[in-house]
């Protein structure tokens, strides 16, 4: 196989992906997508792999948005704490 081409299996179909990322990283992502699709297929009576894929994509997108929201809140909290520490340092230095 050509460099940068990685073969993965997702929901019973084989795909050859092109990526500059580490092969193990790409395969881990493919396994994650496969697990999400199999979880949906197991828990719901859907006879369309396309619909399973769309639902899996929506679930992964929700996880991404939740992580982004969490990271934004965490960053805001860290910035506030840094401002407080900076103010206290300025007070001490001015004494």
Please give the tally of structural domains in the chain: 1
Residue 4 banded pLDDT, cuts 50, 70, 90? confident
Domain that holds residue 19: 5-94
List pLDDT tens digits, range 30-62.
Answer: 999 999 999 999 999 999 999 999 999 999 999
Q: What average pLDDT does this structure show over 60-69? A: 98
Mean pLDDT score across all residues of the chain: 96
Contact 33, 9 (CB under 8 A): no
pLDDT band, residue 95 (cuts 50/70/90) = confident
Q: Report d(CA 68, CA 80) in Å as an integer.
A: 18
């Amino acid at each position: 196989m050509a460099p940068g081409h990685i073969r993965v299996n997702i929901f019973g179909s084989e795909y050859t992906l092109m990526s500059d990322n580490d092969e193990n990283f790409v395969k881990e992502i493919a396994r994650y997508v496969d697990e999400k699709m199999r979880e949906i297929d197991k828990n719901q009576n859907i006879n369309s792999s396309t619909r399973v894929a769309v639902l899996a994509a929506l679930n992964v997108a929700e996880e991404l948005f939740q992580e982004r929201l969490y990271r934004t809140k965490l960053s805001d909290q860290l910035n506030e704490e840094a401002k407080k520490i900076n103010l206290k340092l300025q007070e001490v230095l001015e004494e």
